[in-house]
Chains A and B, each alone.
Chain A
Amino acid sequence: GAVVSQHPSRVICKSGTSVKIECRSLDFQATTMFWYRQFPKQSLMLMATSNEGSKATYEQGVEKDKFLINHASLTLSTLTVTSAHPEDSSFYICSARDRGGRGVGYTFGSGTRLTVV
């Protein structure tokens, strides 16, 4: 089945630094990638939607200059948390929509636990 590889699975960074999270679709072409943020004991909050080759669409309240999303190819999307602060600590999950016409199919990455110290 479809697989999305997300890494790193865990990252600890110092406040003020930037962190890049990658999601790769391994055996299908992901025309659309969704990035979510999940707070402890809460549901997933959609941050942005990116389509290959175009700018990401951010949800209301999400700072696009802080959470940079790049979807340069059909198999790779990245989320960069710039100038990270402790309040950015969270669990980030990507989800890819399969271009291959398999119906309504979404494949999730395994998530990245970001801790900013």
Chain B
Amino acid sequence: GNSVTQMEGPVTLSEEAFLTINCTYTATGYPSLFWYVQYPGEGLQLLLKATKADDKGSNKGFEATYRKETTSFHLEKGSVQVSDSAVYFCALNSGAGSYQLTFGKGTKLSVIP
């Protein structure tokens, strides 16, 4: 079956530090990959996505590259801000007629001034 494994948090960084949140997946076929962000007390917002191998998704300074050879989709940002503090979820959709998303367990990021 499909699964998503992401690094466990919490992750605490100082403002302007470099961020990496690892995400690896197991899926049949050619999945689409996503990163969602959840701010406290809110629902999920799509941060970025990639639909095929070697695609790079980017938004708000965050980037992730779909690496089929390593089945990974690591999230990176060069300089985090306090406002980036949130929980980040890696997810996949396997396609093939299914519209379900499979989520990782989430990684809580806290950025301190």
Contacts and interface: CB of A to CB of B under 8 A. Distances in A.
Contacts of A46: 100-101
A43 B101 contact: no
Interface string A102-117: 0110111111010000
A88 B49 CA distance: 32
Interface stretch (B14-22, B36-44, B67-75, B76-84): B36-44
Interface string B32-57: 10001000011111100101000000
Interface residues of B, number: 21
Contacts of A103: 51
A71 interface: no
A95 B93 CA distance: 14
B5 to A, nearest CB: 11
Give the interface size bracket for A toward B: 20 to 34
B41 A93 contact: no
Interface string A39-63: 0011110100100000000000000
Contact of B44 (A49, A93, A104): A93
A43 B103 contact: yes
27 contacts: A34-B100, A41-B108, A42-B105, A43-B89, A43-B103, A43-B104, A43-B106, A44-B89, A46-B100, A93-B43, A93-B44, A95-B44, A95-B101, A97-B99, A103-B51, A104-B99, A106-B99, A106-B101, A108-B36, A108-B44, A108-B45, A109-B43, A110-B42, A110-B43, A111-B41, A111-B42, A113-B41
What are the 4 A-B residue pairs with the smallest beta carbon separation, nearest first? A108-B44, A110-B43, A111-B43, A108-B43
Interface of B: 32, 36, 41-46, 49, 51, 89, 93, 95, 99-101, 103-106, 108
Interface of A: 6, 32, 34, 41-44, 46, 49, 93, 95, 97, 103-104, 106-111, 113
